[in-house]
Amino acid sequence: MTHPSLPPARGKLIENAALAPYTWFRVGGPADVLFLPEDEADLAAFLAALDPAIPVTALGVGSNVIVRDGGIPGVVIRLMGRAWGEVMKTGELELTAGAGALDLAVAKAAAKHGLTGLEFLSGIPGSLGGATRTNAGCYGRELKDVLVRLEGVTRSGERRTYGAGYAPVEFTYRHTDLPDDFIVTRLVLAASGAGDAAEIAGAIDTLQARRAETQPIKEKTSGSTFANPDPPGTPDQRSAWKLIDAAGCRGLKVGGAQVSPMHCNFLINTGEATAADLEALGELVRARVFDASGVSLRWEVRRIGRLHAGSESA
């Protein structure tokens, strides 16, 4: 697609917009068009009027994606700005938040209101929209465990609500069955109970300190590259990092991409990596793990876009 005829919008529309700065890996090509909707009505009207042949991709804060070097075809939608990041207490044990809110901000807002059960969100460096799509989780809890309902907009611009009493949605390990081009705009989340604000804030600080000791959170990375081969709860669950370590891949490099010496299920961009380097390194790791253990690792990081400028492959 070169110059799509785009419907009018109140928010910003930017053609050939660089995306690498919006991703943790800092790699990848541009979006044909980047749309920063002003609010949900703006998003819905834009999608309703957009040529249905033009693909649409949501991008959160890019902490779980490799945007490929050829960039993303069609329209990329990011929910940026104060309106999308609002977090409000809307019930005794309930918060309502925009899908652009950072998970950490939601955890901190819960703490401020003396609400327990949302602390785990502080360990996930993404937005609520991304957390919904990936059913993000850590420390034994996942987004689905705290979700009351979610709202969003379909590709054709229709507003839809999912959750108890609304359209059904299924969450599994790091996955939801929401339509691929559904844009999540708002979530209602349930806390487990009431507690002391300072104690909850202290628990968040402890979780964050633990993360900093065990994960390369200051690097250009995207978290766990591969899903653990066995679902959570499986007895003697095998972990991806142990298989990668046993296959001798800790510190392995392709171009500017490296398997993190600190946590070998994390890939890092050491400075000049391309998306192709990261993907090639990931595939090399998969091949070595398969040779060493017979396990075929599944990518958890989402690889999106065209391999090369002008190519159609996505």
Ligand X SMILES: Cc1cc2nc3c(=O)[nH]c(=O)nc-3n(C[C@H](O)[C@H](O)[C@H](O)COP(=O)(O)OP(=O)(O)OC[C@H]3O[C@@H](n4cnc5c(N)ncnc54)[C@H](O)[C@@H]3O)c2cc1C
**CA–CA distance, 269 with 218 (Å, rounded to integer):** 11
Category of 91 on φ-ψ map: left (φ > 0), alpha (ψ -120 to 50) or beta: beta
The span of 125-133, 158-166, 202-210, 278-286 binding ligand X (CB under 6 A) equals 125-133
Catalytic residue among 122, 127, 224, 260: 224
The span of 44-52, 58-66, 198-206, 305-313 binding ligand X (CB under 6 A) equals 58-66
Interaction between residue 147 and ligand X (CB under 6 A): no
Q: Is 300 a catalytic residue?
A: yes
Q: Is 174 a catalytic residue?
A: yes
Looking at residue 256, its amino acid is G
Interaction between residue 43 and ligand X (CB under 6 A): no
Please select the residue that binds ligand X; options are 184, 187, 201, 267, rule is CB under 6 A: 184
**CA–CA distance, 153 with 67 (Å, rounded to integer):** 23
Pair 188, 146: CB distance under 8 Å: no
Find all residues with CB under 8 Å of 28, minimum gap 6, and list them.
19, 20, 66, 67, 68, 69, 71, 72, 275, 305
Residue with Cβ nearer ligand X (2 or 214): 214
Looking at residue 49, its amino acid is A
Find all residues with CB under 8 Å of 56, minimum gap 6, and list them.
47, 50, 74, 75, 76, 77, 155, 181, 183
Interaction between residue 222 and ligand X (CB under 6 A): yes
Interaction between residue 138 and ligand X (CB under 6 A): yes
Residue with Cβ nearer ligand X (111 or 136): 136
Please select the residue that binds ligand X; options are 99, 252, 267, 281, rule is CB under 6 A: 99
Q: Is 68 a catalytic residue?
A: no
Q: By the criterion CB under 6 A, which residues form the site for ligand X?
A: 24, 57-65, 79, 99, 123-127, 129-131, 133-134, 136-138, 183-184, 215, 217, 221-223, 302
